[in-house]
């Protein structure tokens, strides 16, 4: 029985909004939808590698904004099965506000560390401290991060990624706030000088994935500058982004079939 499934790879893809997933679902076949309350997970097959015969399944959802919704959706995705297989990697993809003047609209940032900027249990712990891990920042394993970086970098000139401008790795801050003023950015940067972008889900997705022992990566495309123009820029950007967000997902998914073992090392024991 095991061999029958040994060649299956399965990525869980999460966004906060439908626009961050875009057309990805239209390219799936053998689609199954499963509802968990108000959350729908859409699963399907995307590809078979002709040489290795590996199959690729995607399970896709959008959580809604914020840490609670994204933590809940991550947990559901991690527990979700399509054709008796669990996901072996959780990818969060979405938009974010830049808090670094060098990082602009259409730039991509892969989180090399995530910090929950609104987590504050002083005086018991230092600001930003996550008691369950006894640290402030959560980072994906270096191999996962480097693989995604190399994959996007290699394909950066391709037709699919032509909308995107620059590719960075960097620190991303997560909090239950849409940040839209300079004062707030300055205040955040005082404590977190390396912060490149802010958003509302990455830190909680990372925390859940780490607690559940699932490989994860968070990718963000800059939609706005988290300043006074943020909400207009954000809304305009999102309409365009909806048309191209699937390209980013597809480049990663297509290359995932050729990915090294470390992503899916648990797959053959996690099935059934």
Binding site for ligand SAH (CB under 6 A): 16, 65, 94-97, 178-180, 198-201, 223-224, 226, 230-231, 234-235
Distances in Å between the Cα of 23 and the Cα atoms of 27, 29, 55, 246, 247 are 7, 13, 20, 5, 9
Cβ 30 vs Cβ 24: under 8 Å: no
Tokens representing 262 are 């470390």
Count the residues in the chain: 272
Q: Which is nearer to ligand SAH, 225 or 247 (CB)?
A: 225
DSSP character for 178? -
Q: Which is nearer to ligand SAH, 89 or 241 (CB)?
A: 241
Query: Minimum distance between the CB of residue 225 and ligand SAH, rounded to whole angstroms?
Result: 8
Q: CA–CA separation, 207 vs 210, rounded Å?
A: 5
Q: Which is nearer to ligand SAH, 166 or 235 (CB)?
A: 235
Q: Which is nearer to ligand SAH, 194 or 235 (CB)?
A: 235
Query: Minimum distance between the CB of residue 85 and ligand SAH, rounded to whole angstroms?
Result: 28
Q: Which is nearer to ligand SAH, 192 or 226 (CB)?
A: 226
Query: Minimum distance between the CB of residue 45 and ligand SAH, rounded to whole angstroms?
Result: 28
Strand partners, 60: 13, 42
Query: Minimum distance between the CB of residue 122 and ligand SAH, rounded to whole angstroms?
Result: 23
Q: CA–CA separation, 225 vs 100, rounded Å?
A: 8
Q: Which is nearer to ligand SAH, 88 or 201 (CB)?
A: 201
Strand partners, 270: none
Q: Which is nearer to ligand SAH, 93 or 155 (CB)?
A: 93
Query: Minimum distance between the CB of residue 68 and ligand SAH, rounded to whole angstroms?
Result: 12
The answer to whether the Cα torsion of 135, 88, 141, 95 is positive or negative is negative
Query: Minimum distance between the CB of residue 265 and ligand SAH, rounded to whole angstroms?
Result: 30
Decide: residue 82, CB within 10 A, 0-12 exposed, 13-18 middle, 19+ buried.
buried
Point out the residue whose Cβ comes nearest to ligand SAH: 97
The answer to whether the Cα torsion of 70, 74, 76, 80 is positive or negative is positive
Query: Minimum distance between the CB of residue 32 and ligand SAH, rounded to whole angstroms?
Result: 26
Cβ 178 vs Cβ 230: under 8 Å: yes
The answer to whether the Cα torsion of 113, 61, 154, 200 is positive or negative is negative
Q: Which is nearer to ligand SAH, 158 or 232 (CB)?
A: 232
Distances in Å between the Cα of 5 and the Cα atoms of 22, 85, 179, 269 are 29, 8, 45, 10
* Cα Rg, the chain, nearest whole Å: 18
Query: Minimum distance between the CB of residue 157 and ligand SAH, rounded to whole angstroms?
Result: 27
């Amino acid at each position: 029985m095991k061999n029958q499934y040994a060649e299956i790879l399965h990525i869980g893809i999460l966004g906060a909004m439908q626009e961050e997933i875009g057309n990805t679902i239209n390219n799936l076949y053998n689609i199954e939808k499963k509802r968990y309350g108000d959350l729908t997970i859409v699963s399907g097959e995307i590809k078979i590698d002709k040489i290795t015969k590996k199959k690729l399944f995607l399970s896709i959802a959008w959580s809604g904004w914020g840490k609670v919704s994204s933590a809940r959706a991550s947990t559901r995705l991690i527990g979700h099965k399509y054709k008796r297989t669990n996901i072996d990697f959780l990818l969060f993809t979405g938009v974010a506000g830049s808090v670094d003047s060098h990082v602009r609209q259409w730039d991509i940032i892969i989180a090399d560390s995530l910090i929950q900027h609104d987590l504050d249990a002083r005086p018991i712990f230092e600001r930003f401290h996550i008691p369950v891990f006894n640290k402030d920042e959560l980072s994906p394993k270096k191999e996962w991060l480097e693989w995604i970086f190399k994959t996007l970098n290699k394909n950066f000139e391709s037709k699919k990624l032509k909308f995107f401008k620059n590719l960075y790795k960097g620190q991303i801050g997560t909090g239950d706030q849409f940040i839209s003023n300079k004062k707030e950015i300055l205040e955040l940067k005082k404590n977190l000088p390396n912060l490149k972008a802010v958003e509302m889900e990455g830190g909680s997705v990372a925390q859940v994935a780490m607690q559940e022992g699932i490989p994860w990566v968070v990718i963000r495309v800059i939609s706005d500058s988290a300043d006074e123009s943020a909400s207009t820029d954000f809304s305009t950007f999102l309409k365009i982004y909806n048309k191209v967000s699937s390209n980013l997902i597809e480049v990663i998914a297509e290359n995932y079939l050729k990915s090294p073992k470390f992503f899916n090392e648990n797959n053959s024991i996690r099935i059934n």
